[in-house]
Structure 1
Amino acid sequence: MNDLSALILAGSRGGADPVADYAGVAHKALIELEGRTLLARVAEALKDAGAGRIAVSCSDPAVATAAEALGLEVLPAAEGPSLSVRAAAERLGFPLLVTTADHALLRPEWIARFRADLPADVDVAAMMARRAEVEAAAPGTQRTYLKLSDGEWSGCNLFWLQSERALGAVAFWRRLEAERKNPVAMAGLLGPGILLRYLAGRLGMTDAVRRLGELAHVRAAVVPTPYGLAAVDVDKPADLDLVRRLVGEA
């Protein structure tokens, strides 16, 4: 059943994109893998997972043209991903699944498992993978891991917004974006307790998510995934080389 709306984030950070330059395209969403652009691959996975309405948030005209050719809605990218998500939620409604155009290996079964494992009372959720699963699926990959007392975790660029209440998390995300270059202000937003526990290695995922949910006034959850490749996106040239190897194009 196509009961789901989805958003693909395909904005630009400004300036040259080393991945797009490396691949020789205008935007990394237009990189081809197995004869399809990354944008087309992500859109196909979303459709196969039940998304009946899919929008692309972008600022590059070439990406907008490609999205329209795929039958996707085009939304102008806002100033930062959090505002783009908010604008899309207001346009598409809820529930809303959010991912990125560089999620090159995205599979519908990952999305199905994510949805199946969502807690019943959640407002917003993120899918994450443990380091062991990521490295088993993609040996040698260089990811960024959040080191907590119950393991090391990598984000999977897959987010769930259940209802309008989830916009509280988007607003808090926006505040974190605004202060990302100001560690003192960031510490003030998160609170000294959670930071001290993290630095001491005593902060677990459950407590971290609970505290962040409290700060954003939402019921938040992290949904662990057994699919290690879900943590692999194309954020740098080495990532593109990796996904090409994984699909047998290298």
Structure 2
Amino acid sequence: MTAPIPAIVMAGSRPGPDPLLDGSGVATKALLPIAGEAMLVHVVRALRASPRVGAITVLAQNSRAIAADPALAAFEDVRFADSGQGISASLAAALPDDDAPVLVTTADNVLLTPAMIGEFLDGAEDSDVAVAMVERTVLLARYPESRRTWLKFRGGWWSGANLFRLRGRRARPLLDFWGRIERDRKKGLRIIAAFGPALLIGVLLRLLTIHQGVARAGRRFGVKARIVPMSAAEACIDADKPEDIVLIERIMAGRGF
């Protein structure tokens, strides 16, 4: 049996005001209540419930404030560490110096389940960089009201599911590159264009599937990159907008928690 994989939860705040926090009484998104508990609690609980996950580290600009939350303090084996301002730089600094794999997720990935984690890790084997994504028809079949950012490729439109598997130092060049284009994370074509004109043309003309495109982008940095399609529509529903929280709480109520 494969040894449990360590996990990193990115729980920092992006620059600028966050409309989700208006009138909430909390200072950081990770502590925003969803279904009666801080969103980060839901994520850590799902990670802790998975037998595939080992040590958990939460990264945030003010990790002490997050660790002081009583529900989070109850997770005695979770480590809290301060991050920098940039997601990519903070994550790169937290990766192991060898090629050991790390599971990465975010504090707003509140619908995460152990089943999702298992499906993703099974699909991510033997890759240097793996990214979980949901195809549009999978989401719309269950939640047609959910609005996501889509990357359009031959054979489907895809949205990120906030799960990543990175093999330590091998992923650092790609993270350094991501740090330079991070501000355009919601603008799919700008991200694709940053990998070069050949990839952009292939996507615009629908010549490439997302699997081919990501593999080609990875080769530019000497890594084996892979997309892992997720079967659960909920995998790409994160707490990004007020309407997301309404939907998430409805889904949680249907789950019985």
Please indicate the TM-score interval, normalised by the length of the shorter structure: 0.7 to 0.9
What letter is aligned with 2:34? L
Match of 2:243 in 1: 238
What letter is aligned with 2:87? P
Cα 1:104–1:23 change in 2 (3 A) is: farther
Q: Render the CA deviation track for 1:98-137: whole Å, top value 9, x for unaligned.
A: 00001111101100111112243x1110011111111223
Pairwise CA distance, 1:150? 1.2
Q: Is the 8 A contact 2:97 2:168 kept in 1?
A: no
- What is the total number of aligned residue pairs between the two structures? 248
The answer on 1:52 being equivalent to 2:58 is: no
Between the aligned residues of both structures, percent identity stands at 37
SS in 2 for 1:63: helix
What letter is aligned with 1:105? L
Q: Render the CA deviation track for 1:20-42: whole Å, top value 9, x for unaligned.
A: 22544222211233433211110
SS in 1 for 2:96: helix
Match of 1:81 in 2: 87
TM-score relative to the length of structure 2: 0.86
Name structure 2 gaps, 5 residues minimum: none
Name the stretch that deviates more: 62-71 or 44-53: 62-71
Cα 1:32–1:177 change in 2 (3 A) is: closer
SS in 1 for 2:144: coil
Match of 1:16 in 2: 17
Q: Is the 8 A contact 1:171 1:216 kept in 2?
A: no
Name structure 1 gaps, 5 residues minimum: none
Alignment of 1:22-33 (within 5 A): 23-33=24-34
SS in 2 for 1:223: strand
Q: Render the CA deviation track for 1:32-54: whole Å, top value 9, x for unaligned.
A: 33433211110111111232211
Cα distance in 2, alignment partners of residues 35 and 91 from structure 1: 38
Pairwise CA distance, 1:177? 2.6
Cα distance in 2, alignment partners of residues 91 and 241 from structure 1: 41
Match of 1:97 in 2: 103
The answer on 1:63 being equivalent to 2:66 is: yes
Cα distance in 2, alignment partners of residues 240 and 93 from structure 1: 37
Alignment of 1:183-222 (within 5 A): 189-222=194-227
Name the stretch that deviates more: 201-210 or 68-77: 68-77
CA RMSD of aligned residues (A): 2.8
Match of 1:43 in 2: 44
Q: Is the 8 A contact 1:209 1:221 kept in 2?
A: yes
Cα 1:168–1:22 change in 2 (3 A) is: same
Question: 107, 128, 137: which one pairs with 1:132?
Answer: 137
TM-score relative to the length of structure 1: 0.88
Q: Render the CA deviation track for 1:169-198: whole Å, top value 9, x for unaligned.
A: 2222223337879x9x97774111111222
Q: Is the 8 A contact 2:154 2:209 kept in 1?
A: yes
Match of 2:115 in 1: 109
Q: Which contiguous aligned blocks of 4+ residues in structure 1 show a shift greater than 6 angstroms?
A: 178-181, 185-188
Match of 1:4 in 2: 5
Cα distance in 1, alignment partners of residues 253 and 191 from structure 2: 42
Pairwise CA distance, 1:92? 10
Match of 1:149 in 2: 154
SS in 1 for 2:95: helix
Cα distance in 1, alignment partners of residues 73 and 220 from structure 2: 38
Cα 1:4–1:119 change in 2 (3 A) is: closer
Q: Is the 8 A contact 2:124 2:130 kept in 1?
A: yes
